[in-house]
Amino acid sequence: MNEILNSATKIVLLAVISALIVLTFMKIVDAKDFMSIALMIVSFYFGQKVNVPVEKT
C-alpha cells in the first residue's frame, strides 16, 4: 500500500478507473466506453514502465 501512495501515476490510475466504475453504474458511461477508456489508461501506464532502448541505424 505504501508503494501505491508514493506513486502519483498509480494514484491517478486508481482514481480514474474508480470514477469510471462509478459512472458506469450510474449509466453515465456505457460499458463499451468504460472498456476502451480503461484499456487506454492501463496501456499508457504499462507503456511508461517499459524502458526499451531504441537502436539508432
pLDDT string in tens for the chain (57-residue length)? 666 666 777 788 888 888 888 988 998 888 888 888 888 888 887 777 666 666 776
What total of structural domains would you count in the chain? Answer: 1
Whether 10 maps to a domain, the answer reads yes
Whether 19 maps to a domain, the answer reads yes
Whether 9 maps to a domain, the answer reads yes
Whether 53 maps to a domain, the answer reads no
Say if pTM beats, i.e. exceeds, 0.75. Answer: no
**Rounded to the nearest 5 degrees, what angle is found at the Cα of 42, between the Cα atoms of 8 and 30?**
115
**Rounded to the nearest 5 degrees, what angle is found at the Cα of 11, between the Cα atoms of 8 and 15?**
140
